[in-house]
Chains A and B, each alone.
Chain A
């Protein structure tokens, strides 16, 4: 019973003490946010924000597609010429003997 009244007195006497906020807390937080968004990630190849990184990926993909299309067009345009030249080279003894590494296709 004595214990209960002592505890009750202690609880009544207890006061909530809130620590005073640091005076520049808010400024510090915003300053850190600012720094992290403007600084580059260390060791990365491309130091771009995400939109630029996406644009870079698109540019590389477009370039690869363009290169592939150009090669396909080049091959289509020159295929007949190359096949005709190979056909002629296979039946022309002068060309066969002129090329030292020509495989004799008889």
Chain B
């Protein structure tokens, strides 16, 4: 029975290595976002071009939101360090941060809807169902976002 142990180990190793290598190869072969959107939602070249334009137009808006969020987070961390979590300044900054989060979430949701509007109706619905739950909801708990 003992002589079957190395055989068992080699068989398991062969399976594990094959799994790992294939997964790595598949992962490297992932399409870029635009290719995925086009193939997954059966978009024509015109529809994809329209979506690319919407995304390009949204880029500065998203960059602005990211900048504001980063600044607010930094401010919150400094206020927490200086005055603690119960101070009026910190609570006011937290309220402002929550407002900013809601604004960003709402903006992202509208952006998704704008992308979905360029797709055939059924595909647009499917896109919103697939991607919608993965964006941060406007009413998501703020404590995790503030970290």
Contacts and interface: CB of A to CB of B under 8 A. Distances in A.
Q: Do A and B come from one complex?
A: yes
B26 A72 contact: yes
A74 B17 contact: no
Contact of B18 (A68, A87, A95, A104): A68
A87 B145 contact: no
> How many residues of B sit at the interface, in one of the four size bands?
35 or more
Contacts of A46: 3, 6-7
A36 B21 CA distance: 41
A48 to B, nearest CB: 7
Interface residues of A, number: 40
Contacts of A67: 14-20, 22
A63 B70 CA distance: 49
A59 B11 contact: yes
Contact of A74 (B14, B23, B111): B23
Interface string A76-106: 0001101111111111111111100000101
B14 A88 contact: no
A97 B69 contact: yes
Interface of B: 3, 6-7, 10-12, 14-23, 26-27, 30-31, 33, 36-37, 40, 55, 58-60, 62-63, 65-66, 69-70, 73, 101, 104-105, 107-108, 111-112, 130-131, 134-136, 140, 144-145, 147
